[in-house]
Structure 1
Amino acid sequence: MRASWTLPSAWSAYPRRGVVVLATATAVLNGAVTADGQYLTPRTAVAVVSGAALLAGPRLPWFAAPLTAVVATGLWGWPMLSLLLVALFDLAACRRITMAVGSCAVVLAVNAVAPAAISLWRPQQYGPVLFMLLAMVGGLWMGNRRRLVRALNDQVEHLRVERELREETARAAERSRIAAEMHDVLAHRLSLIALHTGVLSTRASTLPPPVAERLTLLRTASTEALADLRDVLGALHERGPTAEAPPSPILRDVHELVEQAREAGQQVELRVSGRAEQAPASHRLALYRLVQEGLTNARKHAAGAPVRIRLDYGGPATVVEIINGSGETAGHGTPSGFGLVGLAERVRALGGDLHAGPHGPGSWRLAARIPRPAPPAQNGSRP
């Protein structure tokens, strides 16, 4: 049995206080009627005490309010019945059915020998019993509704927190993927620098001493930078010792994705402006992931619909736009919606904007605009 007195949230606010005050006033008036119009009587005091206990609620032991209502109703009968009904409602709402039934039995047993003027058995023998039963049924309904609403609110809150955690996990995974891809790109470029400076160093005897010294310094710096980069970011490649290294995305082209989609039966139209070499490596990686996600979503949610892809490598920003028409939803796969969360994180990291949503009747549009980084300032001085 619970050790505290609890009330349903919908029944513990101002409406309940009004009901308790009304029940107390009714008990006082009925008591005065049965006492020949006298208000300063023991029954009036007990009615006020019982009403105060019902108003106090959780600040008193859980049995205080029902006990005072049982005593008042048992001794003075139907004039105090309104207080007992409120107490029975509270007990039933808190799942104290045994206590509520026991209170009814005690009241009816004690009141069985009461005078006819205040008896619960006359003039309607089963009338008070019906009112008590209705109070308990109403309390059960209110308590169950309260618990259902609370459970639904907890479930909604749990789903909200779970979705936030999954979105944060998707963002973190995308950041790790970006860092890993840039590690591959930078390692490739630094290894080329080290390779070419090493080749030139073999001909140091034919070069001026300052140039040969600078070549040696450049080769040493690039080798050390490559080692530091592998030490710091190499842990981002979460692979087992026997796993094969995935191909570097920078070496793959969007045209490969389009061709693979066409071979799979998708109707893909690709329009490209400018040359891919005009865009930074980070932009090309982002565009590759965007096109990959757009084609995947089109296969999942609009199977058989034509897809239009527009890429713009020229201009002050790199732009990609993917539009697919309406089609049938694929019967396999479980769409999670977190691929776009990771792409949005990637595009924001590059200072761009990502838009995804309906585009006309039955079509969907995924578009991103990534501004080019500002070129380094040229001061015209020579080293």
Structure 2
Amino acid sequence: MLVRVFADGVFGVVTLGATAVAVGMLGSVVAPPHAVQLGVLAVALLLLRRPWPGAALVGLATVAGAMPHAALLAAVGAYEVGRRLRGLARPAVLLGACALTVVAAWQWLWLAEAGGWRAPGTGLMVALIAVAGPGLVGTTVGQQEQVVQALREQNAAAEGEARLAERSRIAAEMHDLLGHRLSLISLYAGGLELGVAKASPELKEEAGQLRRTAGTAMDELRDVLGVLGPVRDGATDATGTRADLQALVDDSAAASQRVTLAWSGPDLAGVPVRVRRALHRVVREALTNAHRYAPGAAVTVAVEAGAASVAVRIVNAGGSGEPLDGGTGRGLVQLRERVEVLGGSLECGPADGGFAVAARIPLGGVRGAVVGAGGGPVRDVLTLLPRLAAGAVGLASVGALLLVGLVGAATYVPAGPGERPVVPEDGRPRLGMGRAEVEAVVGPDEPSYRAAAMGREPARPRGAECLYPYPGRDAAVGRLPVVRYCFGGGRLVEIARFSVPTSVR
């Protein structure tokens, strides 16, 4: 768990840094104020995408709207939402995240006291490329995984049923052949024992030994047949659910056994069939033992269904009647083996004057790889590598599309250098000029430069209103030049020249 969190953190930092460097090369795409804090928040939200994918995507989309540098992290969160969420929650979260991306981008310019279409246009582009696209891909992958998992479970269940059917066939053949012959030997030995009792009394003990040996052989054969286990009722969609266990309890109650069922948590209709079948057999075997060893006793069946496992405890208070038979003792041993194969545990023993059987079974239904999938750890690695490669290619594609979109947004300037009035040498802006006169020389206010200066500019004169025109000169690598003209009482009172970084550092 800690290794995965560490790996996710390293991935988030590296991805965010690489995106910041790539976006910074565009020259006029600037990071918002508090970019470092937003980057830390984006990495933290990335770490939360596994336990809370929806909430993580909402946060990542908001950060990506204000800071496109975090768009690739938002793409990872959107893919996780599409792959893992089910039902109406998936489209609701994806659409909401897209809307938040656009709103966050627009709000950024609003806070900068500017307007225009560039920020919401960039937000819409980020929403489509980094949220909607990966979300649709994740949805497709999630549906494919569901189909593959269902097919694997069906194959594993069919394989298990085939094994049980073969074992049942062997048990039936042994019963038909060996059981019949041993029964005849026991009958012949009994007749021989009676026959020699008078004719040859000295042979009576040997004849009795032969009969007892045949009887012992029959008992041992029954033990072997119990280990092989005949095929019982096959698992269905209802096996191991609350209704199924309630039916077992009702059947026991109809046989004069006082049985109650206490269920806590959700029903188990959606868990793997092997888990539900094991739970069914634990309860059935425990109730059978209660009938056999404690007839008439009060029995409580308590089931607690959790998020990761299901626990069941069957307790009988001890019966007042005599046990019906001694049994073979193999039933609980077989149950323990069945539960342990699924990665669970089973405990049984005396409890409060009676007897208790308690089991806990993981809802995953397997220990390690899926039964019947084959291949072990090597197969898992060979399956993981192509998935990682596909994820890297997909993320690189999203990054390339994102850069193309940002280049388009960055290169559009409403009033570019070719459209600026040519400033004569004797017509430079001077303190005391009116706003209209200054705009006629330097051009109108440019929203993108106003947004770039927000939080990084020198202090304004008190009560002044400022103009941020296009500066008319090229940007240095990693820096964006800004010229600010501030007016007080309608007259130019200050001209400030400074530069701001174009990316997160």
TM bucket by the smaller chain? 0.3 to 0.5
TM-score (norm 1): 0.41
Question: Normalised by the size of structure 2, how large is the TM-score?
Answer: 0.32
